[in-house]
Amino acid sequence: TGKGTLGNQIAKTRGWHLLDSGALYRAFAFTANQRGIAPADIQGIGVLGRETEFSFDIAASGEVEIRVNGREVSMRVRGEGCGRLASMYAAIPAVRSRLIEHQRSRRQDPGLVADGRDMGTVVFPDATLKIFLTASPEIRAQRRYNQLKSKDFDVTLRRLEAEIAERDKQDASRMVAPLVAASDAVVIDTSRRRIGEIVEEVDGLLS
Ligand code: DC
């Protein structure tokens, strides 16, 4: 948590494009699940990957609007249930290789802020600047709780803590593109800092 807000602010102040790669994994997992295609169904995943178009627009409110084949799915992919699904499908190499093309195609002038677990290690290994954000599990759960509550999701803090820990474990232990910091990333612990300070620090690193 924190990466979406930071990415958004940096992209906005610089007038750069924004890639929320988690939203892409969530949208893919949501669609596969709705169509009854299991993560292990390699053939079904391949067909879905070829047939599915994703689009992302920034609404006037600043929120990212996600569409799958033209259909708005933004609110339906935001909850923790879809986060868990995304984490399961994200461990499948066929899913990752399909989504990597889409992510790389978003690298456009004047610049791109890409947010996600494997941006610096796999998708954009030659990025100008790589930031790896960390925060204590309690603080991450609290931020996620506030974020979901503000969107009227029915969540509890204790359950979120357990779900975040479980998802981290799954994302960090998978064989392809696991959650690790790139060796050349700047690590920033956001636990005790306000977002404005971190935006300033990252802005300084870019100048
Ligand atoms: O950042 P997020 O919570 O929206 O991501 C949801 C899941 O998608 C995450 O648990 C794992 C997967 N994901 C991934 O494997 N690689 C990315 N670059 C982004 C997300």
Nearest atom, ligand 1, residue 4 CA: 1
Region 89-117: what's the mean pLDDT? Answer: 94
Residue 87 has pLDDT above 70, yes or no: yes
pTM value is 0.90
pLDDT tens-digit readout, 30-49: 999 999 999 999 999 999 99
pLDDT tens-digit readout, 124-181: 999 999 999 999 888 999 999 998 899 888 999 999 999 998 988 988 888 888 888 9
The residue assigned the tokens 């796999």 is: 122
**Which protein residues are within 6 Å of ligand 1, measured from CB?**
21-22, 25-26, 83, 86-87, 90, 116-118, 167, 171
Nearest protein Cα to ligand 1, atom 12: 87
Q: Ligand 1 test: best mutation among 25, 100, 160, most atoms within 8 Å of CB?
A: 25
What are the CA-CA distances from residue 19 to residues 2, 34, 64, 177, 206 (Å)?
Answer: 15, 24, 10, 17, 18
Q: Ligand 1 test: best mutation among 117, 160, 176, most atoms within 8 Å of CB?
A: 117
Whether 85 contacts 133, CB under 8 Å: no
